[in-house]
Structure 1
Amino acid sequence: MRSCFPLILLCWIMSACASLPNVKNLNTELEPAATPKVITGKGAVLSVNSRAALLNKRWAKSGMDLKTQAALEEAATGVPLIKGNKVTLLFDGPQTMAEMFKAISEARSSINLETYIFDQDPLGLKFADMLIEKQQAGVTVNVIYDSVGTIGVPQAFFDRMRAAGVHLVAFNPVNPAKLRGDEWKINNRDHRKVLIVDGKMAFTGGINISDTYAKSSLFRSKSKDKDKSDVGWRDTHVKVEGPAVAAFQWLFIRTWAQQDAADLPDGNYFPVLSEVGDKLVRVVASEPGGGFEIYKAYILAIQEAKKSIHITSAYFVPDEQTVAALIAAAQRGVDVKVVLPGVSDSGLVFHAGHALYDQLLAGGIRIFHLKLAVLHAKTAVIDGAWSTVGSTNIDMRSFLHNSELNVVVLGDSFGREMENAFQEDLRDSEEITKAKWEARPLSDRIKEWSARFMNYWL
């Protein structure tokens, strides 16, 4: 399979013609509705008066004008807010896997899994065994896995699940002979990580199906002196219950259909969903050739920030417009902090991101490197009230060439949880000051210079 990589790289280079939209003045150019749309548990739209009362009550203490922000975001993405949800933050692999295993074991009608990586290792084998067991017990199990993310996984691993009745689709096959449809889109990848159980519970975030998540990071650990070999990856996921789960389900089915796959088996994919919590949620998805929904949501939140922008990003190689928006925020007095990897599983992305540090530090942005653990989380909390968790990195690949999914949660209570998590990561991080950065060795500068030429394809 390694012999295919030069051809894959050539295809990536040849396909490098896409570009991001001009969003420099996005927050002033949009024409939002006076009051953003809010969907109820029954799928109905709240009346204008009910919407206004809900939004004014919920966001009275926020620094950001979240009513305006919500309306702008809806105008940019075309996605409404959904009320009545319960959203639970999950940190690192062990906690997240325990919750997903519990949900799978209790499934009664359907399990839909969409993942970038599905490794054949102890954790991946356990996951596959559970899916097989549920399929054989009469639960409909459907899996979408990315062909590049699983390029090193033996086909026999997936064939075993298929033989047991699990329905599988390989997203955009690397081998053109296995192509479904008319175009070979090797550069377009499915980077989402989504699990939907019985149409009533959804999980998403940064966590793949891999043994790298068998151990916890230092997050909220009482012992900070662990050996590196005992430390797992630092990542964040969410569990969503309530009416918003239907949006996850619809996106999964759309991706399945776009892959020109066979029809999904019959199942009750859209049960009646009652309101089970008080969280206002927007499920934002983006895909190549689409409307850049997640990119626009991020840019708008940064442009509208009044107090703080706190970003945690595994692969941080922002485009010029994102850099400009972050610097503009810092220069108008917003506290802009980013927690980035101190160690990484991707050297090129690591150094390409470092190539921007001089500009970011000069612009007033404070940079922190997470120590010891590999950082893989993709989260942000702005003004303590606009929060997002998902699969999207802040880089060109995520915004242009990947199918991604993020959950945006509006409100102070969830924002406080996100802010507490960010502060915990700060405690496990080292600040990169301008003086410290200028003292880095020449060898690092050369790596940064070289990697920056590749940042479009990383």
Structure 2
Amino acid sequence: MIDLLQTYWPHILAVVSTLLGTVAAVHVAMTKRDVRSAIAWVGVIILSPIVGAVIYGLVGINRVRRANFMARRNLRRSRLRQALAPYAIEPGEVEARFGPRLEQLRRLGDKVAGRALTSGNRLEPLLTGDAAYAAMQQAIDQAEHGILMETYIFDRDSAGIAMADRLIAAAARGVEVRVLVDAVGARYSTPSILSYLKEGGVRVAAFNGRVITGLRMPYANLRTHRKILVVDGALAFMGGMNVREGFCGPDASRDTHFRVTGPVVADLFAVAAEDWTFETGEVLKGDAWQIRLSAGEAGTVPFVRAVASGPDINLEVNQRVLMGAFSVAERSIRIMSPYFLPDNVFLSALATAARRGVQVEIIVPSRNNLAIVSRAMTAQFEAILKNDCRIFRANGPFDHSKLLVVDGRWAYVGSSNLDSRSLRLNFEIDLEVYDDDFAGFIERRIAQSRHGAEEVTLDALRARPFAIRLLERVLWLGSPYL
């Protein structure tokens, strides 16, 4: 056998390479929806025999297969729809209040998002880490039944320990507590906060992997980027804020989080509970996990919908909702994002809106926490500016907020960045909000960041050294995986 291998190993290697490459290339052709992605992967497979096919098998298959789990989820979702029926929007309500264009967007959301647009919700903005963590800790301290938390980053620093101690204390007094942290995000601090929580009696899990032994390799490139905290089935927190001390103090990084009450809490809980069940197999049921809806509070916003997206049956849901919003915009589209690296389809939708007279303004940080991403973003700016959009670099501390508003009437807030990772690879959670007052607040929040910002111009971009511009374009080529 050894003699045979020594004699024919080139032939055996050629056969193995051909078989692996053929299988991988066929899989690419049959499953990839984007032709550029398909061509790129086929190129990797052909130019790197065996290695290319192995790399594709590890990180190129970007769909989580959850068939049996999804079937059980659909059954639970039917029960959820029944519970939310009293808060559902009557036909014609959106059109009567906001006009036919937003009625078209409502119809799109019904089809794409698969969750009800509900009334009787309240959203309270939390504009700093100090404010957000204090509100979350107070809610945890007052919990009586169950606490479910899902987040991307939960650092083992002063902010993380303070939050963890509250969760440990809640578990000690008999509250059911579950904490799900992304396996990649859990590695942002060493040792991980998960061991600290587990030793304190809290049930924890790492999404899509094990912090010590490694990632679940078939889906190693897929992450939960959601930030959800649900307390007693009545109160929720969501938005863009991870748990880390960098958001605390007078000179801290900025972000925007939200305290949520009303029927949309049920959807936020359902999303986090589905992820917990997928990772652990435990179905959260019983009195501790009952939804205790409270609607009709003072200051409620008219209509809110939870929009969950991710590389499963919710693939590109957030992008489809946003593309729909751009198509119905009449006056303005204002975007604030720390990482603005969408694909050409997304940019074409913005350009089309701008060229029919819609004011399109994009605010990004002047100082980014990820220098590589900042360089890659800049590589796209010239094409964006050529299409009548405006770009501003906001000064001051790094702002991690993800905010978008259309015509001062419709807002989109949550965890989604506007890059390929958030729009295709990550599990995200956002809220679409139909409300003049709330959308007006988001516009003012964006305007505050734009005040004193430096507007990006074509002349300034072109005046930079060629070597810098070339570096940015090279980094831009890897933007889908940044």
- How far the C-alpha of 1:438 sits from its partner, in A, is 2.1
Please identify, of 437-446 and 234-243, the stretch whose mean Cα deviation from structure 2 is larger. 437-446
* Higher Cα radius of gyration: 2
- How far the C-alpha of 1:265 sits from its partner, in A, is 7.4
Contact 1:13 1:457 (C-alpha < 8 Å) held by counterparts = no
Match of 1:290, SS state, is: coil
282, 290, 297: which one aligns with 2:305: 282
241, 253, 256: which one aligns with 1:233: 253
1:431 counterpart residue number: 455
Contact 1:352 1:455 (C-alpha < 8 Å) held by counterparts = yes
1:201 counterpart residue number: 235
Match of 1:43, SS state, is: helix
- How far the C-alpha of 1:263 sits from its partner, in A, is 4.4
How many pairs align?
A: 410
- Answer yes or no: is 1:213 the counterpart of 2:247: yes
* Equivalent residue letter for 1:212: G
- How far the C-alpha of 1:13 sits from its partner, in A, is 9.1
- How far the C-alpha of 1:415 sits from its partner, in A, is 0.9
2:327 counterpart residue number: 303
Ranges in structure 2 where 5+ consecutive residues have no aligned partner = 1-50, 64-79
Could you report, residue by residue, the CA deviation over 1:360-391 in whole angstroms, capped at 9, with x for unpaired residues? 01101100001131121111001111101111
2:104 counterpart residue number: 68
- Answer yes or no: is 1:421 the counterpart of 2:449: no
Mapped partners of 1:131, 1:142: distance in 2: 9
- How far the C-alpha of 1:444 sits from its partner, in A, is 2.7
Contact 2:331 2:407 (C-alpha < 8 Å) held by counterparts = yes
- Answer yes or no: is 1:89 the counterpart of 2:125: yes
Within 5 Å, which residues of 2 pair with 1:13-412? Answer: 15-16=59-60, 43-44=84-85, 50-52=90-92, 54-60=93-99, 65-155=101-191, 157-173=193-209, 177=213, 184-216=218-250, 231-264=251-284, 266-275=286-295, 276=297, 277-291=300-314, 292-412=316-436
CA gap 1:177/1:261 in 2 versus in 1, 3 angstroms: farther
Please identify, of 130-139 and 255-264, the stretch whose mean Cα deviation from structure 2 is larger. 255-264
Comparing both structures, which one devotes a greater share of its residues to strand? 1
Mapped partners of 1:47, 1:381: distance in 2: 23
Contact 1:40 1:84 (C-alpha < 8 Å) held by counterparts = no
Structure 1 runs of 4+ aligned residues shifted over 6 Å read: none
Contact 2:412 2:433 (C-alpha < 8 Å) held by counterparts = yes
Mapped partners of 2:171, 2:479: distance in 1: 42
Normalising by structure 2, we get a TM-score of 0.80
Could you report, residue by residue, the CA deviation over 1:392-441 in whole angstroms, capped at 9, with x for unpaired residues? 11111112211100011112111111111111111142111222222233
Contact 2:152 2:226 (C-alpha < 8 Å) held by counterparts = yes
Contact 2:151 2:226 (C-alpha < 8 Å) held by counterparts = yes
Contact 1:41 1:243 (C-alpha < 8 Å) held by counterparts = no
Residue identity (%): 31
Match of 1:399, SS state, is: helix
Contact 1:12 1:187 (C-alpha < 8 Å) held by counterparts = no
CA gap 1:342/1:273 in 2 versus in 1, 3 angstroms: same
- How far the C-alpha of 1:178 sits from its partner, in A, is 6.4
Mapped partners of 2:289, 2:214: distance in 1: 28
